[in-house]
């Protein structure tokens, strides 16, 4: 976006809140490098207004939208068509305008989540993964993990009903592209899961525990998923993947680093899901991911 003029086309983000989102800086940096006459804005919006906002943005020829908390689920019902992945996950993070009105909903969070795992030198075949939390982002994470030919994925929840629903939905995704049957199982926080989690090759935090908050400063010894005791004897062979990217590192990743673990935070997922959305909106293969990463990292610096 070098100059806004009468030909500038609109991209944007729907959610609430959106004022801390890194998406506008990241996408506008890409837009500038790609020489596109686009502009990406963040639109805070109430759930009652969501349908009108979508109709209005479609009417003014908006070229594409991202969707964030808390609308990833609700927006699926408002799409004229969904990709098979978005349909299975019940979550949409990217909207593409359809010919003759309406929106096509898809999900690039899975691609974003997978990128740092695929780009690492680790061979994930037959490895064991442990996922903490069974909310929205855990769905994308587990859908991604199901393509890695892992031996087993265990999901830890704190509510039996939500965990059962999660497993039911995600089991129908089995084989989404993987040829191999991966064991998908759940356990509750009260179960004796500690030996299993500690021996996992890959542990993923999908809860907001450890995320910076304006209301309360983080306590590095307390703001850890599942408390501090469990993480005392991590193996350096284990990879920790925290979907949170603020602060960098999170207390959990900081602790992992001190024990020699390989650590991945959520920034690359954010960047890669954004790049995948850009690819869909612009139909261009080469998205300046490095520029997006630099813009996001700069914006995150205190
Ligand atoms: P969500 O749908 O609300 O899910 C959060 C999950 O964490 C739920 O299973 C919830 O359990 C559990 N949880 C919350 N607080 C907990 C606690 N104190 N103890 C144990 N479990 C707890 O949220 P989400 O959309 O998945 O987002 C989760 C995190 O991922 C956020 O920090 C978000 O910023 C991050 N995220 C990052 C990216 C990225 O691109 N890097 C993308 C999406 C999300 P219940 O179901 O029992 O409430």
Q: Which two tokens stand for residue 69?
A: 């908390």
> Facing residues of 268 across strands?
none
Q: Which long-range contacts (CB under 8 A, 24 or more apart) does 191-198 make?
A: 193/154, 193/156, 194/230, 196/130, 196/154, 197/130, 197/154, 197/156, 197/226, 197/230, 198/230, 198/233, 198/234, 198/235
Where does 111-265 sit in CATH, by number? Answer: 3.40.50.720
Q: Is 187 left (phi over 0), alpha (psi -120 to 50) or beta?
A: beta
149 has catalytic annotation: no
Q: Per residue in 49-82, pLDDT tens? A: 999 999 999 999 999 999 999 999 999 999 999 9
Burial class (CB in 10 A: 0-12, 13-18, 19+), 9: middle
Considering 7, 16, 72, 171, which one is annotated as catalytic? 72
CATH code 3.40.50.10860 region(s) in the chain: 9-107+270-300
> What pLDDT is attached to residue 50?
95
CATH code 3.40.50.720 region(s) in the chain: 111-265
Separation of 158 CA from ligand 1 center, angstroms?
12
Could you tell me if 271 and 112 are in contact, meaning their C-beta atoms sit under 8 angstroms apart?
yes
> What pLDDT is attached to residue 195?
76
Helix (H, G, I), strand (E, B) or coil at 73: coil
> What pLDDT is attached to residue 2?
59
Residues having CB within 6 Å of any atom of ligand 1: 69, 109, 112, 133-138, 157-159, 162, 206-209, 211, 243-245, 266, 269-270, 273
Separation of 208 CA from ligand 1 center, angstroms?
5
- Closest Cα to atom 43, ligand 1: which residue? 137
- Closest Cα to atom 39, ligand 1: which residue? 270
- Ligand 1 binding pocket mutation candidate from 15, 67, 138, 207 (most atoms within 8 A of CB): 207
The pTM assigned to this predicted structure is 0.94
Please measure the distance between the N-terminal and C-terminal CA atoms of the chain and give it in whole angstroms: 25
Where does 9-107+270-300 sit in CATH, by number? Answer: 3.40.50.10860
């Amino acid at each position: 976006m070098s100059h806004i003029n009468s030909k500038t086309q609109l991209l944007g983000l729907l959610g609430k809140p959106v004022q801390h989102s890194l998406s506008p800086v990241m996408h506008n940096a890409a837009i500038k490098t790609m020489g596109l006459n686009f502009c990406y804005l963040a639109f805070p919006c109430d759930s009652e207004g969501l349908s009108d906002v979508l109709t209005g943005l479609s009417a003014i020829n908006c070229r594409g939208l991202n969707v964030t908390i808390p609308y990833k689920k609700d927006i699926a019902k408002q799409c004229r068509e969904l990709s098979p992945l978005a349909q299975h996950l019940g979550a949409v993070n990217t909207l593409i305008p359809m010919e003759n009105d309406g929106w096509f909903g898809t999900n690039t969070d899975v691609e974003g989540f997978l990128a740092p795992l695929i780009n690492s030198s680790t061979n994930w075949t037959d490895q064991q993964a442990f996922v903490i939390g069974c909310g929205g982002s855990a769905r994308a994470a587990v859908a991604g993990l199901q393509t890695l030919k892992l031996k087993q994925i265990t999901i830890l929840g704190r509510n039996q009903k939500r965990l059962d629903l999660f497993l039911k939905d995600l089991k129908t995704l089995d084989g989404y592209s993987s040829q191999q049957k991966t064991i998908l199982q759940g356990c509750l926080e009260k179960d004796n899961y500690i030996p299993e989690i500690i021996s996992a090759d890959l542990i993923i935090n999908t809860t907001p525990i450890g995320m910076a908050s304006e209301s309360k400063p983080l306590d590095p010894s307390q703001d850890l998923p599942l408390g501090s005791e469990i993480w005392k004897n991590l193996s350096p062979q284990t990879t920790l993947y925290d979907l949170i990217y603020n602060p960098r590192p999170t207390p959990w990743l900081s602790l992992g680093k001190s024990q020699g673990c390989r650590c991945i935070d959520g920034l690359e997922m954010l960047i890669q899901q954004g790049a995948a959305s850009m690819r869909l909106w612009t139909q261009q293969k080469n998205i300046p991911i490095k520029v997006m990463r630099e813009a996001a990292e700069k914006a995150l610096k205190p």
